[in-house]
Amino acid sequence: MIVESQLAPENAIVRDTVDAGDYYLKTIKKGQTVRILDLEGNQAADTLFYNANDASERYSAIDTVREQGNVYLTAGTVLMTNDCNPMLTIVADTCGRHDTLGGACATESNTVRYALEKKCMHACRDSWLLAVAENEQLGLSKADITHNINFFMNVPITADGKLSFADGISGAGKYVELTALMDTIILISNCPQLNNPCNAYNPTPIEVLIWN
Ligand SMILES: [Zn+2]
């Protein structure tokens, strides 16, 4: 569902650019709104969320899909935690659909999906592991890297229930915007993946904006 934002970029309190292959870590206070902006189009922003006051509570794809009765995420979706608490709500979306089933790229899955020699290529899971290692104060370990959302990624379900990785439906300047319903840690891996048709084999930067 396409819903445009009423928020003006010049009023944002945070405005950061994240290059492809980098991670982005930030705490969003309850009531604040975060926008993830696809600057050049068809980029995949692989994102994890944690309760900032108790990181053992985290985003749950299963609870979110079950509670809304739909596998696609868009405006109106309430992101649920593994304790079935509402965590964030998608308040604006100019892309129209985001994936939470396909999972993130990892060096191991890249060898299966593409070719054995892709093992050495940087992957989203590496970026998250680096974030966990560089931010010990969060108390996270690799066991906490679980369900994620692939913002801007197109993973349509076929009529017989199969997952298909398709060309992206996002474009330059499209965005998704979420309002936090609890203090939330956002951990984005801006996907470095050079083999993924979803970003047209060309990983590009994203922008993150936050409003009070
Ligand atoms: Zn990735």
Q: 154-171 pLDDT, tens per residue?
A: 889 999 999 887 777 899
Residue 193 Cα, ligand 1 centroid: separation in angstroms? Answer: 5
Domain segments of the chain as ranges: 14-211
Residue 105 Cα, ligand 1 centroid: separation in angstroms? Answer: 4
Most confident of 4-8, 110-114, 153-157: 4-8
- CA angle at 176 for the pair 200 and 71, rounded to the nearest 5°: 80
Residue 127 Cα, ligand 1 centroid: separation in angstroms? Answer: 9
Residue 3 Cα, ligand 1 centroid: separation in angstroms? Answer: 26
- CA angle at 24 for the pair 177 and 12, rounded to the nearest 5°: 45
For residue 154, give both structure tokens.
């197109």
In this predicted structure, the answer to whether residue 23 has a pLDDT above a threshold of 70 is yes
Residue 11 Cα, ligand 1 centroid: separation in angstroms? Answer: 31
Residue 61 Cα, ligand 1 centroid: separation in angstroms? Answer: 17
User: Of 184, 61, 191, which is closest to residue 126 (Cα–Cα)?
Assistant: 191
Residue 182 Cα, ligand 1 centroid: separation in angstroms? Answer: 26
* pLDDT confidence bin for 198, thresholds 50/70/90: low
What are the φ and ψ backbone dihedral angles of 63, each rounded to 5 degrees?
Answer: -65, -35
Residue 104 Cα, ligand 1 centroid: separation in angstroms? Answer: 5
Least confident range from 1-5, 119-123, 208-212: namely 119-123
